[in-house]
A and B are shown apart, each in its own frame.
Chain A
């Protein structure tokens, strides 16, 4: 009775019609290919055709000379990036910010959705959900303004609570905590959407059966909800892990001061600073490419691990 859906998925594989030729199978699947036709066409036109733009990472791109007319400079931009005064610090800060961010913020939506899913008072449940999603709609600019007010050494809420006068915005050690905690506040509720949707697909008969068997709420979570969620959790983990190098620019920039750069100096802000003087298309493309390569390596590693251990994969 307590069959997990992962097993159900595995059963599906068994359906694969053996003994048919590849050509026959392709023909039989024509309806599936027909469904894919439009997405493939759109992807080719709007995603693959523009990809020639990547090569400007190896050129000194000047808009009017065009993508193929600008001077070829090879690895110059990469060299410049690797020899930037704070290269090491930027990489370390970027990785640490994402990694700690992932460690702290990843479990929160899962725990929240497990709790919310067990709420049996529908109206109350709806209120909780709506409140939890709301911070997602607040613009980063306003969130950062609010963070500054809350952390102000003069009458800021946090300083009042701890009875101190510290300007946290200029304390490098505090930056990551501020960034990650406010991120959890803003997006943890939003993150529950996907897990709650997955949980709502659980057959209520399973719960009924478990109750009859005398399973407690905790046991039901452990034996029904968590197995149901596992594939989605792993998938989300793979996706997050392959975004380690992509720390967003806006929020870090808004929370950065000259004095917390020791921890807040990340790649995205560096790219922005470099671009102030000139458009630096080539340089930012090169740095972006570097990030992408690292992200893909991470993706492949995490994907392999997930495939082996949990039979969930991204590709």
Chain B
């Protein structure tokens, strides 16, 4: 009988649950309060961050305008959780650092999940941001959606060559892959640093024949003349295509999409020079000059090979990072001319990669928010150079020690960081860094704070060694905005297109080809099944609009 009672009580519990389902129901959202001063903000943070609570800078900002913010932040699988929250109508007052893409922003903006912020971006409510948008029409263009509205506050790090005093501001990402070659091996073999693909080919053959990796104590036969990844953002093989008249660096918009100075756009993967390049590099692969494992290795595997001195040529963001202790043995191998005896002899073309976009996906106020004006006032404070500097790195007094004679903030030295906190300045940054609508303008560098030394060095190298090889500086921008119809076409065709192109590119490099028949079949497939022409029209139209908006 006892058991029966237990069972019955369980059944009653279940019945209560059921009634709760019908009774509790959707509550129809919280009551909107126009005088709201407490806000719930959900979003992302750095995975090493200690969270926003207790951050002195944020506390001060909140006090300034009299708001209280409850942060609900996570560093892992944010996308899934946010998707469920929006789908489940469990909205906070705003989302921060979610990184919504243009598609999301369009969708959630047009259906009213995110509110239009244009009424609040005025000199009275948001003085800092209004001024920035006035000074930088390109930023305004980037965050204005096709329907003319702004659904989020801008963020972006405009780190480019302007920061080191260049006239044209080129993103530090313009050439993501710096190719490099082991100079000590060349010297030992009495070879010059190659200037064209034929010379590089001969050098690689010499590396292989002389088993140069044994110079670093590696086992005989372990030399990999050239090791890279395949279509990887900073460690791919694409820089070597320059000798054939293009570089198809990976792109967040669409792979193989190349923009030209005259405003035209092309898919290079359907061109003859692309076909020639792939046909040519298959020979290298077949001769064992390129890494057998290039299509499957991870970046860790590549680092392992290069830092252990088994590879003679590679690509990476920067030499020191990949070569480690052997960094001094490597020199840059700037873009090479085409193979001798072909129509590409004596020519090269580098197509740049676009800067990361200024996006409006890192602070979006939702329809739940009763007092967007106050929240906008609060976030306007983020658009101050000294504030954003402290959010990007860490607070003054922790990471920034004092201003120098030019009134620019100085970073704590490694020794001081170790002495005061027992950790590196990098760890300090990771701990205090606040994600969100951070907009770092080029004019902040050298006026508010200095660029990090490594960034300066890379920008200088970019200007000095690499840009002389670049004639056409156009790059398909990451912040082009698309209409809803255009986005529809992109989401319909782009994944298939990208996947098909990569598969064929890899297969041809590895196995040889394409024959005329294969090539025609490939072009037909791209056009018919992967919507290449439709995609190209969309990208061209949007780019044309973008260029016009930039002018005006």
Asked if A and B form a direct contact in the complex, defined as CB atoms under 8 angstroms apart, the reply is yes
Chain A to chain B contacts (Cβ below 8 Å), 24 pairs = A35-B7, A37-B14, A41-B15, A49-B21, A64-B111, A66-B89, A80-B492, A84-B496, A86-B496, A86-B500, A152-B301, A153-B293, A154-B293, A165-B292, A169-B295, A170-B510, A257-B295, A258-B231, A259-B506, A273-B495, A274-B495, A277-B494, A278-B487, A280-B491
Given contacts A85-B530, A148-B296, A277-B490, contact A63 B503 (CB under 8 A): no
Cα distance, A277 to B491, chains bound together (Å): 6
Contacts of B87 in A (CB 8 A): 63, 281
Q: Are A154 and B222 in contact (CB under 8 A)?
A: yes
Please determine whether A63 and B505 come into contact, CB atoms closer than 8 angstroms: no
> How close is A285's CB to chain B, nearest CB, in angstroms?
12
Chain A residue at minimum C-beta to C-beta distance from B108 = A64
Q: How many A-B residue pairs have CB under 8 A?
A: 111
**A167 near B292: Cβ-Cβ < 8 Å:** yes
B113 contacts partner chain A, Cβ-Cβ < 8 Å? yes
- CB contacts (< 8 Å) of B525 on chain A: these are 85
Interface residue? B307 (CB, 8 A): no
B259 → chain A closest CB, angstroms: 20
A123 interfacial contact with B, CB 8 Å: no
Taking the nearest CB of chain B, how far is it from the CB of A9, in angstroms? 27
Q: Taking the complex as formed, is A22 at the interface, i.e. its CB lies under 8 A from any CB of chain B?
A: no
State whether B500 touches A85 (Cβ < 8 A). yes
Query: Known contacts A154-B222, A257-B296; is A42 also within 8 Å of B496 by CB?
Result: no
Cβ–Cβ < 8 Å partners of B14 in chain A = 37-38, 41-42
| Least distance between B126 CB and chain A CB atoms (Å) | 26
Residues of A within 8 A of B295 (CB): 167, 169-170, 257-259
On B, residues with C-beta under 8 Å from A are 7, 10-11, 14-15, 17-18, 21, 83, 86-87, 89, 101, 103-104, 107-108, 111-113, 222, 224, 230-231, 292-293, 295-298, 301, 305, 310, 487, 490-492, 494-496, 499-500, 502-503, 505-507, 510, 525, 529-530
A306 to chain B, nearest CB (A): 34
Please report whether the interface of chain B is mostly helix, strand, loop or mixed according to DSSP.
helix
Chain A residues touching B, range: 35 or more
Chain A residues with a Cβ under 8 A of chain B: 34-35, 37-38, 41-42, 44-45, 49, 62-66, 80, 83-86, 148, 152-155, 165, 167, 169-170, 257-259, 261, 273-274, 276-281
Contact check, A277 vs B103: say whether CB atoms are below 8 A apart.
yes
Which residue, of A42, A66, A278, has the highest number of chain B Cβ atoms within 10 A?
A278
| Smallest CB gap from A40: residue in B | B14
- Contact between A45 and B18 (Cβ–Cβ < 8 Å)? yes
B17 A41 Cβ-Cβ under 8 A: yes
**How far does the Cβ of B461 sit from chain A's closest Cβ, in whole Å?**
31
> By CB atoms of chain B within 10 A, which of A35, A37, A38, A154 has the most?
A154
- Quick one: given A38-B10, A62-B107, are A258 and B17 in contact (CB under 8 Å)? no
Q: How far is the CA of A152 from the CA of B310 in the complex (A)?
A: 15
